[in-house]
Structure 1
Amino acid sequence: MPEDRIAVMEQVLHTISGPDDPLLSRFIAAQSAAGLPQQLSEIARVWRSEVPGMTGAGLALVLATVRSLPRPRPAQVSVSGPMNASMPARLTSGVAVEVIRSAKTSLLIASFAAHGARNVVTEIGRAVDRGVRVDLLLEESTQASVAFAALPDDVHVWHRVESSGVLHAKLIAADRHTALLGSANLTDRALSDNIELGVVLRDPHVVEPLIEHFHWLMAPANSIMRPA
């Protein structure tokens, strides 16, 4: 149920004595939003069966407590190339900078190729200046590390140990709370002109396992990634 609907219901509940109060029935019947009457009826059913002695004010307090708890922000789509005005998406170049800018302690960035992407490189440099640890996992065969040559020496660059495969992942992860996953490499064309698709995750429960996977890849004992 949308947060604004929950807030309205809290106000109404303060005037209701219990789950069988006619005021509650009338309130439910007056709702016109698709699916909302069914949601409210289900709340009333559970209220009646589980805690029939609870007052409306008591239930309002429960809803207010739940509403105050932090909730993960929904995933957000990012695209490169032509933009559909009716689609709620943002350009990959802007999203990449925003994610980097949100980092307070660590940045983990993976890309198969890199070229140009001056705004991204500049933002990484600013992150380093404010004390953020930066790990760049780059494909050595594409010479991607050249794009980041101007960054300070304390940026950690990683290449894959000799194998039959390549590092093809594309990821920008800030701390353990936000990650941009997608098809775009860190190149000017991929961030703006190519037809690319990505998604921004802002749920730490989803982002943390991604970070842990890459930390496992970088662990010296696993001989998968090596410092450049």
Structure 2
Amino acid sequence: MSRPSGQDLSGPDRPSAHTADVPAARSGAPFRRLPRLLAALCDRLPEDRIAVVEQVLDTITGPEDPLLSRFIAAQSAAGLGQQLSEIVRVWRAEMPDMTGAGLALALATSRSFPRPRPAQVAVSGPISASIPARLTSGVAVEVIRMAQTSLLIASFAAHGARDVVTEIGQAVDRGVRVDLLLEESTQASAAFAELPDHVHVWHRVGPSGVLHAKLIAADRHTALLGSANLTDRALSDNIELGVVLRDPHLVEPLVGHFRWLLAPENNVMRLA
């Protein structure tokens, strides 16, 4: 915390600045934004993407290296180029003599300390370069890819979405249990007809109401919630909004609710 100008901090409750064997206070150290920006980048990107950034940084000499400018200009994810540009700007201002390899090491250090990751925005349709959001189509595939034991997917409508269907098939191949909760009146299950028979497809019991939820949950640790159905338009062209949760404390009860819906004794969902 900064001290008001002219404030007298001497007195009986404050040791003298010349007291022997007392280490110098560290409060005068300059505040640096760069570590916080690197941590925010780790929060945003999946580990494999962070590793790519580290590899690029390892090859550059410093913040003025043209290779870094070209790498930033090539980024298509919404807001990522601006986020990287801000890191370079602060790098130049705070630690201009640090090499790219040094910054890569700092980024790897931040990545190596697991911590709860914040919710992340996912969008479809037109996006502003200044908004730190990711496209729904890419996020959906990423969440499916994270499943190791179970995958729970709910959608009102489904059509096309070849990347999603392919990724679900690969999840099945690695032994993941897949449950698809689909609205029967939209014939959504047809989009997944090529998947193996042991993929569980569920429809709602009875004529009252429809299944309108949109969810992709990997195990009980990561979930994508949003307005987008599993259709080509919803994943890419429509104006849709979603959020990715990576906090097991939030995802666990969410998945628990849908597992309750599937329990036969509750008579809410039935196997197709």
Identify the TM-score tier after normalising by the shorter chain. 0.7 to 0.9
Given residue 25 of structure 2, which amino acid in structure 1 is its aligned partner? L
Which residue of the other structure, out of 218, 223, 248, is the alignment partner of 1:179? 223
Structure-1 separation of matches of 2:32 and 2:230 = 47
Given residue 169 of structure 2, which amino acid in structure 1 is its aligned partner? G
Instruction: State the match for 1:57 in structure 2.
Output: none
Structure-1 separation of matches of 2:32 and 2:121 = 30
Structure-2 separation of matches of 1:164 and 1:108 = 23
Structure 1, residues 118-158: CA drift from partner, whole Å, max 9, x if none?
11001100110111000000000111001000100000000
Pair 1:197-2:241 in alignment: yes
Structure 1, residues 25-84: CA drift from partner, whole Å, max 9, x if none?
433xx4376xx9xxxxxxxxxxxxxxxxxxxxxxxxxxxxxx986311111111000111
Which residue of the other structure, out of 5, 19, 24, is the alignment partner of 2:26? 24
Structure-2 separation of matches of 1:173 and 1:155 = 15
Structure-1 separation of matches of 2:163 and 2:112 = 36
Instruction: State the match for 1:152 in structure 2.
Output: 196
Question: Helix, strand or coil for the counterpart of 1:128?
Answer: helix
Say which structure is richer in strand.
Answer: 1
Question: Helix, strand or coil for the counterpart of 1:74?
Answer: coil
Which residue of the other structure, out of 113, 118, 127, is the alignment partner of 1:83? 127
Instruction: State the match for 2:264 in structure 1.
Output: 220
Alpha-carbon RMSD: 2.1
Which residue of the other structure, out of 177, 192, 202, is the alignment partner of 1:133? 177
Which residue of the other structure, out of 139, 147, 155, is the alignment partner of 1:111? 155
Structure-1 separation of matches of 2:147 and 2:171 = 7
Instruction: State the match for 1:8 in structure 2.
Output: none
Structure-1 separation of matches of 2:128 and 2:27 = 43
Instruction: State the match for 1:74 in structure 2.
Output: 118
Given residue 128 of structure 2, which amino acid in structure 1 is its aligned partner? N
Deviation at 1:164, TM superposition (A): 1.7
Given residue 161 of structure 2, which amino acid in structure 1 is its aligned partner? A
Alignment of 1:158-169 (within 5 A): 158-169=202-213
Scaled by the length of structure 1, the TM-score of the pair is 0.73
Percent of matched pairs sharing the same residue = 80
Q: Cα distance 1:186–1:24, how it changes in 2: closer, same or farther (>3 A)?
A: same
Segments of structure 2 that go 5 or more residues without pairing to the other structure are 1-18, 37-110
Question: Helix, strand or coil for the counterpart of 2:28?
Answer: helix
Segments of structure 1 that go 5 or more residues without pairing to the other structure are 1-16, 37-66
Structure-2 separation of matches of 1:31 and 1:131 = 48
Q: Cα distance 1:215–1:32, how it changes in 2: closer, same or farther (>3 A)?
A: closer
Structure-1 separation of matches of 2:175 and 2:251 = 21
Question: Helix, strand or coil for the counterpart of 1:98?
Answer: helix
Structure-2 separation of matches of 1:24 and 1:115 = 60
Given residue 149 of structure 2, which amino acid in structure 1 is its aligned partner? T
Instruction: State the match for 2:255 in structure 1.
Output: 211
Question: Helix, strand or coil for the counterpart of 2:261?
Answer: helix
Higher RCO (CA-CA < 8 Å; seq separation 6+): 1
Q: Cα distance 1:68–1:81, how it changes in 2: closer, same or farther (>3 A)?
A: closer
Q: Aligned residues, how many? A: 176
Q: Cα distance 1:197–1:69, how it changes in 2: closer, same or farther (>3 A)?
A: same
Structure-2 separation of matches of 1:173 and 1:32 = 37
Structure-1 separation of matches of 2:121 and 2:234 = 15
Structure-1 separation of matches of 2:247 and 2:177 = 21
